[in-house]
Amino acid sequence: MQGNGFKIGTIVAFLALTIYYLYPTVQYQLEQNYIEDLSPSETAQYTEENAEKLESLRSNILSLGLDLQGGMHVTLEVGVPQLIRELAGENADQLLNDVIDVADQRALENNSDFIDEMVAEFESRDPDARLSRYYRNDAMDITRRSTNEEIATFLKTQRQSALDRAVEIIRTRVDRYGVTEPSIVKQGQNRIVVELPGVEDKERVRNLLKGTARLEFRLAADAEEFRSFVNQTYEYYDSFEQPSDTADSVVNNQFNPLDEVLVPAQNPYLFGYATPEDTSRVMDLLRTEEVQRMMPRNTTVMWSANPLPGQAGEELYQLIGVRTQIELTGDVIEAASVQFDPATNVPEVSMSMNSEGARKWGRITGANIGKPVAIVLDGFVFSYPNVQTKISNGRSSITGLDGIGEAEDLVNILLSGALPAPLEIMEERTVGATLGAESIQAGLNSILVGLGIVAIFMIVYYRTGGGIADLALLLNIIFILGILAAFKATLTLPGIAGIVLTIGMAVDANVLIFDRIREEQRTGKTIKASIEAGYANAMSAIVDANVTTFFVAIILFSFGVGPIKGFAVTLMAGIVASLFSAIVITRVVVDYLTQAKKSAVSFG
Amino acid sequence: MRWFETPSIDFNGKRKIAYILSAVLFIASLGAILTKGLQYGIDFRGGKEFVLDFENPVSVVELRSDLSEPLGSTPELKLFGSDSEILIRTDNEQEIAVVQEIISSTVRELHPDNPFNVVKTDVISPRFAEDLKWGALQAVIYAIVIIFIYILIRFRNWTFSAGAVAALVHDVVIVLGIFTILGDLVPFSLQIDQALIAAFLTIVGYSLNDTVVVFDRIRENSNVHKGMDFMPMVNKSLNDTLSRTVITSITTLFVVLVLFIFGGEVLKGFSFALLIGIVLGTYSSLFVASSLVVELEQRTNKS
């Protein structure tokens, strides 16, 4: 036993730490079990009385990944090209747009930095030209004389701050929406990873995350001009023959493709109605060069945000003619709240503007009495009410919403501020709670069965030694969980797989040691000497083997995403824990049995 | 119980047979990968995936043809665990909510008496998939480079590094080949996704583990038996460690098999890769890694 004092000390310390870190998890689970047995009213009372305690427990538990508890994992990308384009503002020209498009493509192909590619592309077109002509900014010390290098640095700072701002805005929105324990982190230069446990309404969350809240007030198109444009377009497609590569073209050659996808409208400001599946085909037909040429000046078409019910109960979206010019933007909105229309009790968003906005709004409404004004959010028309009178108090409202949920989300988005650049969903993974629960059960079963089989095998093969190794194995699993809890890592399904794998590989160190002890015994050494030599001689192989595996785990951690990171973390924790339990714990037990108890330890 | 207590198997003598076996497997795998291409999962090529959990069993073939027209292209359908759970993968580029609605309404219309839940959805944009693929490739390359360097530092002999890395490449290529060949033959998904990269790196780690233990014994034996020739010494080291190699492989195989059977559908491909990988890894550290070291040592000593 001499010399083992330090080892025993470490084991006790390690165990104490593990218990300390796992205590909240166990306690929380017990509380949950207790709450489950209560009646609903008792539950409410109990959770309220113990809110603080439960909260503090929950913030320290070993949390489960989204693949186990169900929820939504979204990776968003800040549209850097758009951001850079908008930073140039009115200075942007065709050259800059071309350069941005080329750089975007190239950054994707070469996996390189967009801004570096952009500067390179710009310089390759004209080595003497300066980007500073687009980005003069006195506040940021960017003058006409700034070098392209300085501009690149400036743009990168802008990108960074846009990302930071986007994260803040997303956080505000998620918090207002009310998700327990959301996680919002930056990834790389332009991505944001959002994890939302237990989210039910996915579409609502998508809109919440992506909503740039670009609110615009636009005048409707000129009724007469727009009507004649609609008629011309129909005439144009009347004379249109179906492409000859389809088989029934001969039969159908008097066919108007617009009729296939669009329901005509009476309202002079409407091009027509279409079902959600057809909207993209309608746009294809309207985007052709010939149709664009017929489009009245300063006019464009936009879809309504929410559908109207059609005759057969189908959903129909309206295609509305509006001006290209934006009269007023959401910057002027000072406050927003959900209100209910006193007559119909339908929810709407009521907004008030700052003084400058109110002045402009008064002028616009005053000059357009009797005509519609379109209220556009993120490219979709929410409503286009007719102006009744001049509005001088800066009030306006968004109607035509799809229920209270949408109204609340809109207020949320408007108040949390506009995103600096559009966000695009790059990756979205959702797992239902039931599938998650099944995965937990499957993982648990695997751990128990795996542990059982390995434990029995070890005892059969190594006798007492095997039993000691099994004890180490059991502690090993508890240590892994403790390490995960201590580092606030999340347990994912691949993570559980990592634990199961560790069960198989953790005994490796003991196999190496025990085999070595047997070998030493064969050379005629006493059991005590054999144990001594066995542990000593096996050490270098154990260290080498585990260090290399640890490297692999680190690499996996650095390059993996989401659940794979979880796997790498458990693998690392598993290596550390198994080295400790296989080398230190088994040694102490073996020494204790051979020396203090004088019992014969058999290694089979 | 004692297995392989004092074995004297002539590993290096049999290495010619191993070379032929490995060469056949390796070339067949490379051939399969080159002709058929790697079967990437959604992680590495993008797209949309939905898992529908039906109340009663459904026919994959029927559902596939039902959905082809509304989706605009034939989707990929596979059973997901049980015969009432279906995984649908499509390249339809519309918004996820629209695609999900198309699938849901079509299925609901055609199978009104078989209600279902969408239990899992994954959407990966092609651009993001490209990044994931690049990340995975980097991970594998870095792993191999770092392993080469570590072994070089620890064993101070580049032939050991080369032998270990060759064995790893051998293992990974053959597992990839088997995945490519078996892809359509087994009832679970063998597509290459992120989880599989994790499995590959685990196989790499595992196979290396075995190899390093043998190398360690070679190093020890070369200090103890100074006069011994290199080849017999390698053979002795393989025999010395054989018992440990087999026992560790058995315990690891046990747990991986458990994972394969009990781990659920999400982990099927992952644990299948590990299953093959562990068998291969054990084989390659016994027959490939050390044999190559012997081979390389003989060449360099002659020259």
- Read off the pLDDT of residues A518-542 as tens digits, 9 standing for 90 and up: 989 888 888 889 999 999 999 888 8
Query: Is A467 part of the contact surface with chain B (CB cutoff 8 Å)?
Result: no
ipTM of the complex as predicted:
0.88
* Interchain contact, B121 vs A560, CB within 8 Å: no
Query: Is A432 part of the contact surface with chain B (CB cutoff 8 Å)?
Result: yes
Between B233 and A91, name the one with better pLDDT: B233
Query: Among candidates A416, A413, A569, which has minimal Cα distance to A497?
Result: A569
* Beta carbons of A136 and A107 less than 8 angstroms apart: no
Q: Which CATH architecture describes the domain A433-596?
A: Up-down Bundle (1.20)
Q: Which helix (H) or strand (E) holds B189?
A: none
Cβ contacts of B96 on chain A, cutoff 8 Å: 206, 428
* Interchain contact, B97 vs A202, CB within 8 Å: yes
First to last CA, chain A: 23
- Facing residues of A183 across strands? A195
* Beta carbons of A304 and A316 less than 8 angstroms apart: no
Q: What pLDDT, on a 0 to 100 scale, did the predictor assign at position A247?
A: 47
* Interchain contact, B119 vs A434, CB within 8 Å: yes
CATH of B15-41+129-302, one of 3.20.20.70, 1.10.150.120, 1.20.1640.10, 3.40.190.10: 1.20.1640.10
The confidence band for B54, taking pLDDT boundaries of 50, 70 and 90, is very high
Distance from CA of A272 to the nearest CA of B (A): 21
Q: How many CB atoms lie within 10 A of CB A195?
A: 22
- Read off the pLDDT of residues A358-409 as tens digits, 9 standing for 90 and up: 999 999 999 988 889 998 887 888 888 888 888 888 888 888 777 888 888 8
C-alpha A348/C-alpha A345 separation (Å) is 9
* Beta carbons of A29 and A396 less than 8 angstroms apart: no
Chain A interface, best mutation among B255, B256, B270, by max A CB count within 10 A: B255
* Interchain contact, A442 vs B143, CB within 8 Å: no
Q: Which helix (H) or strand (E) holds A417?
A: none
Cα A358 to the center of its chain, rounded Å:
38
Distance from CA of B161 to the nearest CA of A (A): 12
Q: Which of A202, A427, A545 is nearest residue B212 as measured by Cβ atoms?
A: A545
Chain B interface, best mutation among A429, A464, A544, A570, by max B CB count within 10 A: A544
* Interchain contact, A446 vs B274, CB within 8 Å: no
Cβ contacts of A549 on chain B, cutoff 8 Å: 205-206, 208-209
- Facing residues of B52 across strands? B86, B118
* Interchain contact, A430 vs B121, CB within 8 Å: yes
* Interchain contact, A559 vs B135, CB within 8 Å: yes
Radius of gyration of chain B (CA): 24
* Interchain contact, B205 vs A541, CB within 8 Å: no
Q: Which residues contact B84 (CB under 8 A, 6 or more apart)?
A: B53, B54, B55, B56, B57, B58
- Read off the pLDDT of residues A109-127 as tens digits, 9 standing for 90 and up: 888 889 999 999 998 988 8
Q: Which of B51, B125, B243 is nearest residue A515 as measured by Cβ atoms?
A: B243
Chain B interface, best mutation among A511, A512, A558, A602, by max B CB count within 10 A: A511
* Interchain contact, A500 vs B255, CB within 8 Å: yes
C-alpha A74/C-alpha A182 separation (Å) is 11
Chain B residue with Cα closest to A203:
B97
* Interchain contact, A564 vs B118, CB within 8 Å: no
Arithmetic mean of pLDDT over chain A: 86
Averaged over B51-69, what is the pLDDT? 90
Averaged over A94-100, what is the pLDDT? 89
Q: Which residues contact B223 (CB under 8 A, 6 or more apart)?
A: none
Chain B interface, best mutation among A109, A540, A564, by max B CB count within 10 A: A564
Burial profile A148-160: b = 16 or more Cβ within 10 angstroms, e = fewer: bebbbebbbebbe
C-alpha A429/C-alpha B43 separation (Å) is 11
The confidence band for A249, taking pLDDT boundaries of 50, 70 and 90, is very low
Question: Which residues numbered 532-561 in A keep a CB inside 8 Å of some CB on B?
Answer: 537, 540-541, 544-549, 551-553, 555-556, 558-561
Averaged over A49-76, what is the pLDDT? 87
* Interchain contact, A426 vs B128, CB within 8 Å: yes
C-alpha B77/C-alpha B126 separation (Å) is 20
Strand order in the sheet with A71-78: A183-187, A191-197, A71-78, A423-431, B116-124, B47-54, B82-90, B76-80
Burial profile B102-135: b = 16 or more Cβ within 10 angstroms, e = fewer: bbeebbeeebeeeebebbbbbbbbeebbbbbbeb
Q: Which CATH architecture describes the domain B47-124?
A: 2-Layer Sandwich (3.30)
Averaged over A294-300, what is the pLDDT? 89
> What percent of chain A has a predicted confidence (pLDDT) above 90?
24
Look at domain A212-228+258-424 and name its CATH class.
alpha beta
Query: Is A200 part of the contact surface with chain B (CB cutoff 8 Å)?
Result: no
Distance from CA of A354 to the nearest CA of B (A): 36
C-alpha B176/C-alpha B273 separation (Å) is 9
C-alpha A3/C-alpha A283 separation (Å) is 81
* Interchain contact, A555 vs B250, CB within 8 Å: no
Look at residue B175 and tell me whether its pLDDT is greater than 90: yes
Phi and psi angles of residue A71, each rounded to the nearest 5 degrees, phi first: 150, -165
- Three-state DSSP string of B245-291: HHHHHHHHHHHHHHHHHHCCHHHHHHHHHHHHHHHHHHHHHHHHHHH
* Interchain contact, B244 vs A512, CB within 8 Å: yes
Q: What pLDDT, on a 0 to 100 scale, did the predictor assign at position A323?
A: 92
The confidence band for A2, taking pLDDT boundaries of 50, 70 and 90, is low
The confidence band for A243, taking pLDDT boundaries of 50, 70 and 90, is low
C-alpha B268/C-alpha B266 separation (Å) is 6
The confidence band for A242, taking pLDDT boundaries of 50, 70 and 90, is low
* Interchain contact, A504 vs B256, CB within 8 Å: yes
Domain ranges of chain A: 80-210, 212-228+258-424, 433-596
The region that residue A222 occupies, defined by phi over 0 for left and psi between -120 and 50 for alpha, beta otherwise, is beta
Q: Which of A454, A519, A604 is nearest residue B254 as measured by Cβ atoms?
A: A454
* Interchain contact, A446 vs B143, CB within 8 Å: no
Distance from CA of A41 to the nearest CA of B (A): 31
Query: Is A268 part of the contact surface with chain B (CB cutoff 8 Å)?
Result: no
Cα A62 to the center of its chain, rounded Å:
21
Cβ contacts of A428 on chain B, cutoff 8 Å: 96, 121-123
Chain A residue with Cα closest to B4:
A515
Q: What pLDDT, on a 0 to 100 scale, did the predictor assign at position B303?
A: 61
Q: Which of B197, B262, B274 is nearest residue A442 as measured by Cβ atoms?
A: B262
Distance from CA of B196 to the nearest CA of A (A): 10
Cβ contacts of A443 on chain B, cutoff 8 Å: 263-264
Domain ranges of chain B: 15-41+129-302, 47-124
Query: In the numeric block, which tokens belong to residue A328?
Result: 């007023």
- Read off the pLDDT of residues A174-185 as tens digits, 9 standing for 90 and up: 888 888 788 899
Cβ contacts of A202 on chain B, cutoff 8 Å: 97, 121
Residue in the block written with tokens 């998890």: A25
Query: Is A43 part of the contact surface with chain B (CB cutoff 8 Å)?
Result: no
Distance from CA of B209 to the nearest CA of A (A): 5
Query: Is A114 part of the contact surface with chain B (CB cutoff 8 Å)?
Result: no
Angle CA(A97)–CA(A102)–CA(A104) in degrees, nearest 5? 95
* Beta carbons of A429 and A223 less than 8 angstroms apart: no
Chain B residue with Cα closest to A508:
B248
Cα A144 to the center of its chain, rounded Å:
40
Query: In the numeric block, which tokens belong to residue B143?
Result: 């792993």
Look at residue A412 and tell me whether its pLDDT is greater than 50: yes
Cβ contacts of B252 on chain A, cutoff 8 Å: 501, 504-505, 508
Phi and psi angles of residue A178, each rounded to the nearest 5 degrees, phi first: 90, 70
First to last CA, chain B: 47
Chain B interface, best mutation among A559, A570, A571, by max B CB count within 10 A: A559
C-alpha B85/C-alpha B116 separation (Å) is 9
C-alpha A67/C-alpha B266 separation (Å) is 10
Distance from CA of B299 to the nearest CA of A (A): 27
Q: What pLDDT, on a 0 to 100 scale, did the predictor assign at position A135?
A: 86
Burial tier of B152 (Cβ tally within 10 Å: 0-12, 13-18, 19+) = middle
Averaged over B167-177, what is the pLDDT? 92
For A5-113, list the strands marked E by DSSP: 71-78
* Interchain contact, A558 vs B139, CB within 8 Å: yes
Helix (H, G, I), strand (E, B) or coil at B90: strand
Look at residue A212 and tell me whether its pLDDT is greater than 80: no
Query: Among candidates B78, B82, B89, which has minimal Cα distance to B55?
Result: B82
The confidence band for B92, taking pLDDT boundaries of 50, 70 and 90, is confident
Query: Is A67 part of the contact surface with chain B (CB cutoff 8 Å)?
Result: yes
Directed axis angle between helix A433-462 and helix A493-522, to 10°?
0
Query: Is A459 part of the contact surface with chain B (CB cutoff 8 Å)?
Result: no
* Interchain contact, A111 vs B131, CB within 8 Å: yes
